Structure 1
Amino acid sequence: MDIRLVTETYLPDINGVATTLGCLVEALRQRGHRVSVTCPRSRARRDLGDGGEVPGLALPFYPEVRFGLPRRRAFLAEWREDRPDVVHIATEGPLGASALAAARALGLPVTTSLHTNFHAYARAYRLGWLATPVMRYLRRFHNRSAGTFIPTDKQAGELAANGFERLVVLGRGVDTDRFSPARRDAGLRASWGADEHTPVLLHVGRLAAEKNLDLLIEAMDLARSVSPTTRLVIVGDGPERARLERHLPGAVFAGALRGEALARHYASADAFLFPSLTETFGIVVLEAMASGLDCLCFDYAAGRMLIEPGVNGLLAPIDAPEAFLDQVPSLLHGDPRGRRSRARETALKYGWSAVIDSFEQNLLAVVATAEQRVPVLEEQT
């Protein structure tokens, strides 16, 4: 297939969307498909392969996040001259909206992904009045495609109840060779002020308001009251970093990491704290489990899908932050119940191969039925 991917974020951006798209694109190219990526220009981005960068702007309150400017006419010209088999739109910003309009005008098959709970973000930024119009926009956007890929069955049910159509569950995978307990590094732990007997809690993610970071602060305060030697390592960056540094003296702020450095940080910790309530999936939970960490998160998205409470990790009800805090002490005294090894066993079942197979087969189905007015995707779980 000749696939055109349009997205507001792509490697080397550090987020779950970029990670997922990068894995899909690399695998599809290895299978012989042509995949062209269009995304906003970035200083860090050197080569998109068969694709191109376009003008974009940074969010004023979060400069690390960029969105592309509309370019409907440019897409029309490009795709008339070099007609793709299918257009896949991964983000719903101005760039994605113009790509959707152009693809429909040309009668091209088009699919979309829903990676971000923008309506939940509106509440996190105290703009709750925007949640309803944002949901209305997302529903209209995605219902104009042949199908929308989403990461979990639960989300499929919630979106279907809100009028979303043609939803396709496409899970997430993890590189279990890269993210592995074998990456544990005593020297790195020593740089954190920790030996093998020091509890080390880890958090990985964007440091932004929508990530429920006040609960991370409370969890660490509690952990230190129980075990004063506890260390906290935070991997990631964002507008909330300065505030966290003030409230978490002694925490190690490693900044944004990728590749081997990220894998070593995961494996060198003991437990993973993930208080976010706005994820569509939360691929960092899967990476932490693959690295053999005892994970504490809320009972939704990746947590609900992957964790059996008390067996391979810990869960708290999504409306009960106190239940999240109540379980922090159990992360601090080793792993007597073997949750860490069972977390690793769970992650080993979630390689990328099945995810890529599902994505490829669904795109092939859309291309094969392109002359139908509303092609229907075969739902995969």
Structure 2
Amino acid sequence: MKILLYFEGQNVIGKSGIGRAEAHQKRALQSVGIDFTTNPKAEDYDILHVNTYGPKSYQLVKKAKKNGKKIIYHAHSTEEDFRNSFVGSNQMAPLFKKWLVSLYQESDFIITPTSYSRKLLKNYGLKQPIAAISNGIDLRKYYPDERKRTLFRDHFKLTASDKVIICVGLFFERKGIIDFVEIAKNMPDYTFIWFGHVPMASIPHKIRKIVKKDHPENVIFPGYINGDIIEGAYSAADLFFFPSYEETEGIVVLEALASQQQILVRDIPVYEGWLKNGYNCYMGHNNQEFQELIRKITEKKLPNVSLAGFRTAQTKSINEIGKELQTVYQSVLDLPYNHEIYRRIM
């Protein structure tokens, strides 16, 4: 079999979670020996696996259908996680949902990262089979490394006694950026670092104001940083704090788990079935709870659950995701479905 992996707008969203998911797909297919191409002009493929939602994606899907190719849509986005993001996103969300549904309906099969996002898609009235397959994580890349840890702390001129809380994400309200800064105001003895970037013109004024100037001195917005420094940050920080209100999975959470870091997240439905409060992570509901948990975790007044978190990351390794994708591809090629394979992936 040969797969055409398609990703539109690499220059615009390549640094996002969707961009990292597509990179993971390439690694996953290589790990199980599946032949693939990323050339949209290719003709010698069996399945089109689409990750994006722009007009070029739509045109390629139409072309593939006309040529009798099988189509898998990777549903990274939903109406729910589009809200509270870009300027005008809440007003556009119903139209965005209609556009997503019109695209997803063109597929033979849908993949989405979690059981939660699968449930959302089912509620949209989609009839295609939908498999929940994690975006996966490169365990080797995020394994704790003392050299990377030192690079991170040196880059930010952190002392051994500095307590450091990190988050990674776009500058979206739904990611919890307002809460992150408010909590930092009440915890001046901690350093809070939010890694990530998005064009300022694309986000609401109140978020631009927070990032540019309306934040306390103990909050740092270094922008988008990749490589050794961010990889070192995950394990060298005292806590990964991700107060997002809505996700389809949250690749950054997987990255933190793979780094054997303690994590604190908001208690939201997307984590059901793979994160458990007090077992492989800690969860809170509001800023007061978050502040109390940050202190208790960093002061070692709660059990360290990072190893259980790492074991969770291991179940979502690139190799495991490759095997699951292979099963889906074979099922789609075997239409009408091989029911034994179908039961395994659903």
Q: Note if contact 2:113-2:248 (Cα within 8 Å) is conserved in structure 1.
A: yes
Give TM-score scaled by structure 1 length. 0.77
Alignment of 1:165-244 (within 5 A): 165=127, 166-183=129-146, 185-186=149-150, 188-224=152-188, 228=189, 230-238=190-198, 239=200, 243-244=210-211
Task: Indicate yes or no: 2:94 matched with 1:128.
Answer: no
Larger displacement relative to structure 2 (248-257 or 214-223) = 248-257
Alignment of 1:1-381 (within 5 A): 1-10=1-10, 13-29=14-30, 31-37=32-38, 51=39, 78=41, 82-124=43-85, 125=87, 127-165=89-127, 166-183=129-146, 185-186=149-150, 188-224=152-188, 228=189, 230-238=190-198, 239=200, 243-246=210-213, 247-300=215-268, 303-317=271-285, 320=286, 323-334=289-300, 336-369=302-335, 378=342, 380=345
Q: Which residue identity lines up with residue 234 of structure 2 in the other structure?
A: Y
CA distance in structure 1 between the aligned counterparts of 2:338 and 2:260, rounded to whole angstroms: 42
Aligned Cα root-mean-square deviation (Å)? 2.9
Kindly tell me the number of residue pairs found equivalent between the two proteins.
332
Structure 2 unaligned spans of 5+: 201-206
Q: Which residue identity lines up with residue 196 of structure 2 in the other structure?
A: G
Q: Note if contact 1:120-1:131 (Cα within 8 Å) is conserved in structure 2.
A: no
Q: Secondary structure at the match of 1:84?
A: coil
Report how far residue 235 of structure 1 moved. Answer: 1.7
Q: Which residue identity lines up with residue 7 of structure 2 in the other structure?
A: T
CA 286–110 in structure 1, closer or farther in 2 if over 3 Å, else same: same
Q: Note if contact 1:89-1:96 (Cα within 8 Å) is conserved in structure 2.
A: yes
Report how far residue 254 of structure 1 moved. Answer: 3.2
Give me the identity figure in percent: 19
Structure 1 unaligned spans of 5+: 38-50, 53-77
Q: Secondary structure at the match of 2:142?
A: coil
CA 307–122 in structure 1, closer or farther in 2 if over 3 Å, else same: closer
Report how far residue 33 of structure 1 moved. Answer: 3.5
The structure with the greater share of residues assigned to helix is 2
Give TM-score scaled by structure 2 length. 0.84
Q: Note if contact 1:150-1:171 (Cα within 8 Å) is conserved in structure 2.
A: yes
CA 34–187 in structure 1, closer or farther in 2 if over 3 Å, else same: closer
Q: Which has the higher contact order (CA 8 A, sep 6+)?
A: 2
Q: Which residue identity lines up with residue 245 of structure 2 in the other structure?
A: L
